[in-house]
Structure formats: structure tokens, C-alpha cells
């Protein structure tokens, strides 16, 4: 017997076994908030969304984009769009208007759901229907199914579940096609490794647009865990939610870890404490924090630290580093150093390193293809392995990432194409040469840094160039630091030698990425 894996089955199960259980606590005081929803409510609204989309002519395989911070409606879309055979296109709301317009056009999205705060980012096009998530414009769309007939979709695990756009080595994002099989196997594997159960309370400190919240929204829903929506990252707010809501698990980038530690320090300075109601696991990815930060997470916050490694193309789970029984007995500082590694292969994942030092992977949750980019797909999946673009080595069963072969900087969990930032700076009339690199930073993992040579007679300052980039790029892509130079290291043929440019900033580190 074979039953196709589809993400809709996660919510159907939760509503069957825990219909009255609290599924989601939406952000309060926000326009369009849905308040507290049970699993029966969540299913009814997801089914209602699917019915409304079908009534609007959105057919199986059509693309529906969403531009929004974390929200209960975003969670509903995972099941009301993808779960009914339509394709969800989650878009990073921090991107520029130009990038968002490109993604909407490239994906062929017919409908875009947009938070009121981001409505200005959506281009006006006659072929694009726009619904604002303000509680009025979208009221009918997200109404419970009620007496209407549900949408019937013949389940197909090889159908595209979502198209998640990721920045790469080119200025234009690539659309990663994740199938239902990809998302289902990633979520179940992730949930298994982290130990998700119906007793868990998940705080959404990770943007839901990031690889579908890494798949944790699916995993938590399948087990009927409770979702606590967090719209904006604030260290003190996170600590307060953990205490008030009884949070047991959260996923985040290192910058969020830094925000929590800063908030804890501020509390201690004010003579206040921090007392979680339950044991808390924090899952970190995007860049490994320094081992001292990991140690502080465990000794000061009292959390269990779990590190994972993966990419949007792998749904994203590839490796997991969770302390074994032997590691748990070690002193905190020693354990923290071991937890700084990328980890061991997750269940069902194969990891290898080729003779060029590139990390390769195979798994059921490796993506199907890049949307409408067959050449890029063939390159990424050449030889039956996914080429991560990361350099590293194997330390027994552990993968250690040492370098990034692709020209990408990961800052605060966001991918930034150095080429895109360089192109922006080159358009400034004062810039003659530029090289954009990532340098180590405790808060952001890597700080986008531009090394610039000015044209003769030009007088632009570092602040001028940063401001210029912020005008033309999404703010997270703009360099946080600009260093003016007389010249940049190049080969005899004129090619920039970025490894030399990075060397001074990475001196004393055992790898060239964070």
C-alpha cells in the first residue's frame, strides 16, 4: 500500500486527535489578528481558504504569493494553499520592491496576499490580484469553510508544494521548488530529531518565509503542538513570551540568540531574573555562533542548544548537532566547542565531501529543481548529489563547514549575494573598485563589508556609500561597514583575490566563514 506524503495531512491529523487543543496564538494588537485558534478552527479556516481560492479560479498548480511577517494567516496558508494542491510562494518582506516584483513575475503568481505594512511593495499589474491581510479585504478569503463544500485534491507527493526564493551568487533570486515529499520528509525528520510532541509550545522566532520556517510549522502541527506567533524580534519580548506562554522550543539565527542574551544581561543589571516554566530547546542555523555564545545559552539561559545545517534547496535539514549522552557529561565549555560543528547527518541524509573540498548531500528532501532554470538545476544536482557550495571536511560522522565556495554572505540568517552589493556600489559615481566580503561578527554571524577604492578626486565617505546602498537594496543587504582602500589585491590577470582580502579579518579563526 502507498499513501502519498502531503503537508495537508499534518493539519488533518492534528484536528482529528486534538480538535479543541489550542493550535495557534496570533500576535495581539495587530490589524487582522485572528486571536487564539483551536486545531478545529485552523482546519476550518485552511479549508475555507482552499475553497475561496478555487472559487476565484486559482487552480491546482497555480501560484499564490504571501508577503508578511509571521502571522496565523501565514500558518493557515501552509495548509490552505499548499495542502489543496496550489503552490505557495513565501516572499521575504525585507526584500526591495525590485526583487519582490521580479519574484512575483518569475514565479507567475496569480494572487498575492500582503500584510498592510508591506502593501506598498507590491507592483500594480493587471494580471496580479492583491489581497491585503487587514481583516477586511481578506475576511471572506480566510473565513471558515462552514457549509461550503471542501476542495478535493488528488494527493500527489511529487507535486510542487512551495517555491522558496533564495539569494545565490547571482543578483536575481532563484526559485527553489520543494515538493510535498520534500517538505513532508524534512518535517518528520526534523520533528524526530528535536523530539516534537503535543506537549510542545513553539515560539515562532524564525520567519515563516525562511524555507517554510525550516519545516517546523509542519512538524509542530503534525503533533498538535501549540504555535505562538511572534511578529517582530525583540530580546526582552522573547524572554517574556517564554515565561508567559510556557515555550519549550524555538528556532532562530544567531542574531536572535544574541538578542536574548543581551536582554538577559539587561534583566540582571536591573536585578531581575528569568524563569522558564519548562525546559527549552533552541535550534540554531544560518551560521554557528561562537562556542562562548553556545556556552552562555546553556549556562545562563538554561536552554538546550541544538545546531542544524542545511539550505533552502534541502528543505533545509542536512545535519544535526544535539548533545549526546557522552557530551552532556562534559564541562559546559568543552561541550560548547563540540556543538559548534555542523553536526551528523540527519536520518535519511547522506553527506560526502568531493576532492575539491565541497560538501555534497543526498536525501529525500533535496529539492526537485529551480523554477524555470534548468541549467542551474543541472549544475546543482550534477552526478546525483546536491552541491551545497560550502567547503568543509568530515570529522568522523561530523560535518565541519570551513568555507563558502559560492560568493554568498550569510548575515543574521539571510543570504546576501556579494555580487549584487558590488553591482550597487559600482553604480555610485565615486566608486572605482569594490569587493564585498563577509567578516566575523558575534551578533550577525557575518557582517556585510565593502572594501572600496574611490575614483581619483572623489570624496564619498563610508557613511555616504552605506546610505546609497540602503536606498537601492533591501536594508539587510547593505554593507554595515565600508573600508576605503588605495587598492585591492588582484591576480596578474586582474581577478580579485577575495581570500586575501578576507584574511586580515579572519585571522585567528579556524575557518573563513561564521
pLDDT digits (tens, 9 = 90+) for 439-454: 888 888 889 999 998 9
155 within some domain? yes
148 within some domain? yes
354 within some domain? yes
Same domain, 394 and 371: yes
456 within some domain? yes
Which domain-ending residue is among 121, 149, 182?
182
Same domain, 106 and 52: yes
24 SS3 class = strand
| CA–CA gap between residue 139 and residue 32 (Å, rounded) | 9
Same domain, 379 and 446: no
Q: In 312-380, which residue ranges form alpha helices assigned H by DSSP?
A: 325-328, 332-339, 374-380
What's the mean pLDDT in 173-193?
A: 97
Q: Is the pLDDT of residue 126 over 60?
A: yes
**Residue 362: closest CA among 410, 412, 314:** 314
Which CATH number does the domain housing residue 496 bear? 3.30.300.30
Which domain-ending residue is among 182, 209, 230?
182
Which domain-ending residue is among 140, 164, 182?
182
pLDDT digits (tens, 9 = 90+) for 224-277: 999 999 999 999 999 999 999 999 999 998 889 988 999 999 999 999 999 999
- What total number of domains does the chain contain? 3
Same domain, 362 and 501: no
477 within some domain? yes
Q: In 389-445, which residue ranges form alpha helices assigned H by DSSP?
A: 418-426
Same domain, 148 and 120: yes
Same domain, 40 and 144: yes
Same domain, 481 and 354: no
304 within some domain? no
Residue 406 pLDDT grade (very low, low, confident, very high; cuts 50, 70, 90) = low
The residue range of the domain holding 478 is 408-506
Same domain, 358 and 497: no
| CA–CA gap between residue 166 and residue 211 (Å, rounded) | 9
164 SS3 class = strand
Mean pLDDT of the chain: 92
Same domain, 22 and 59: yes
* pLDDT (0 to 100) of residue 250: 98
Q: Are 344 and 398 in contact (CB under 8 A)?
A: yes
108 within some domain? yes
pLDDT digits (tens, 9 = 90+) for 66-95: 999 999 999 999 999 999 999 999 999 998
* pLDDT (0 to 100) of residue 493: 42
Residue 340 pLDDT grade (very low, low, confident, very high; cuts 50, 70, 90) = confident
Q: Which residue has the higher pLDDT, 43 or 410?
A: 43
Residues 126-158 as b/e (b if ≥16 CB within 10 A, e otherwise) read: eebebbbbeeebbeebbebbeeeeebebeeebe
253 within some domain? no
Which CATH number does the domain housing residue 154 bear? 3.40.50.12780
Same domain, 84 and 156: yes
Phi-psi region of 482 (alpha: psi -120 to 50; beta: other; left: phi over 0): beta
| CA–CA gap between residue 79 and residue 226 (Å, rounded) | 16
Same domain, 367 and 497: no
* pLDDT (0 to 100) of residue 492: 46
Which CATH number does the domain housing residue 389 bear? 2.30.38.10
| CA–CA gap between residue 109 and residue 160 (Å, rounded) | 14
Residue 20 pLDDT grade (very low, low, confident, very high; cuts 50, 70, 90) = very high
* pLDDT (0 to 100) of residue 351: 98
Same domain, 474 and 362: no
Peptide bond connecting 316 to the previous residue in cis, omega within 30 degrees of 0: yes
Q: Are 303 and 354 in contact (CB under 8 A)?
A: no
| CA–CA gap between residue 315 and residue 346 (Å, rounded) | 12
Amino acid at each position: 500500500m502507498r499513501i502519498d506524503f502531503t503537508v495537508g495531512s499534518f493539519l488533518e491529523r492534528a484536528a482529528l486527535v486534538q480538535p479543541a487543543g489550542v493550535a495557534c496564538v496570533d500576535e495581539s494588537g495587530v490589524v487582522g489578528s485572528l486571536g487564539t485558534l483551536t486545531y478545529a478552527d485552523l482546519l476550518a479556516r485552511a479549508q475555507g481558504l482552499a475553497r475561496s481560492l478555487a472559487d476565484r479560479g486559482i487552480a491546482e498548480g497555480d501560484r499564490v504569493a504571501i508577503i508578511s511577517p509571521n502571522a496565523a494567516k501565514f500558518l493557515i496558508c501552509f495548509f490552505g494553499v499548499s495542502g489543496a494542491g496550489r503552490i505557495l510562494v513565501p516572499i521575504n518582506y525585507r526584500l526591495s520592491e525590485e526583487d519582490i516584483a521580479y519574484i512575483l513575475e518569475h514565479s507567475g503568481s496569480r494572487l498575492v496576499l500582503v500584510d498592510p505594512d508591506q502593501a506598498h511593495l507590491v507592483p500594480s499589474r493587471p494580471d496580479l490580484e492583491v489581497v491585503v491581510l487587514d481583516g477586511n479585504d481578506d475576511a471572506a478569503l480566510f473565513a471558515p469553510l462552514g457549509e461550503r463544500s471542501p476542495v478535493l485534491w488528488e494527493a500527489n507527493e511529487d507535486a510542487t508544494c512551495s517555491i522558496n526564493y533564495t539569494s545565490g551568487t547571482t543578483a536575481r533570486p532563484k526559485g527553489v521548488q520543494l515538493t510535498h515529499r520534500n517538505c513532508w520528509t524534512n518535517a518528520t525528520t526534523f520533528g524526530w530529531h528535536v523530539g516534537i510532541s503535543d506537549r510542545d509550545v513553539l515560539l515562532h522566532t524564525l520567519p515563516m518565509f525562511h524555507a517554510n520556517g525550516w519545516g517546523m510549522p509542519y512538524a509542530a502541527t503534525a503533533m498538535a503542538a501549540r504555535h505562538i506567533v511572534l511578529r517582530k524580534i525583540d530580546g526582552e519580548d522573547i524572554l517574556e513570551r517564554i515565561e508567559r506562554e510556557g515555550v519549550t522550543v524555538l528556532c532562530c539565527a544567531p542574531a536572535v540568540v544574541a538578542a536574548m542574551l543581551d536582554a538577559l544581561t539587561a534583566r540582571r543589571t536591573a536585578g531581575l531574573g528569568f524563569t522558564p516554566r519548562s525546559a527549552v530547546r533552541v535550534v540554531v542555523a544560518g551560521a554557528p555562533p561562537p562556542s562562548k555564545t553556545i556556552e552562555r545559552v546553556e549556562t545562563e539561559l538554561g536552554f538546550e542548544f541544538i545546531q542544524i545545517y542545511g539550505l533552502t534547496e534541502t528543505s533545509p535539514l542536512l545535519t544535526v548537532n544535539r548533545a549526546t549522552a557522552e557530551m552532556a557529561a562534559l564541562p559546559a565549555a568543552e561541550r560548547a566547542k563540540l556543538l559548534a560543528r555542523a553536526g551528523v547527518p540527519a536520518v535519511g541524509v547522506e553527506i560526502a565531501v568531493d576532492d575539491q573540498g565541497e560538501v555534497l548531500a543526498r536525501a529525500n528532501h533535496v529539492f526537485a529543481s529551480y523554477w524555470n532554470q534548468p541549467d542551474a538545476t543541472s549544475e546543482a544536482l550534477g552526478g546525483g548529489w546536491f552541491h551545497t557550495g560550502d567547503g568543509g571536511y568530515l570529522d568522523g560522522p561530523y560535518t565541519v563547514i570551513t568555507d563558502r565556495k559560492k560568493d554568498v554572505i550569510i548575515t543574521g540568517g539571510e543570504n546576501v549575494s556579494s555580487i549584487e552589493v558590488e553591482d550597487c556600489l559600482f553604480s555610485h559615481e565615486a566608486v572605482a573598485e569594490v569587493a564585498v566580503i563577509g567578516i566575523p561578527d558575534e551578533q550577525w554571524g557575518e557582517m556585510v563589508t565593502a572594501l572600496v577604492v574611490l575614483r581619483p578626486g572623489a570624496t564619498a565617505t563610508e557613511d555616504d556609500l552605506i546610505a546609497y546602498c540602503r536606498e537601492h537594496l533591501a536594508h539587510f543587504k547593505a554593507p554595515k561597514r565600508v573600508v576605503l582602500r588605495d587598492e585591492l589585491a588582484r591576480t596578474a590577470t586582474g581577478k580579485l583575490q577575495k581570500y586575501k582580502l578576507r584574511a586580515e579579518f579572519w585571522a585567528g579563526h579556524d575557518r573563513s566563514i561564521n
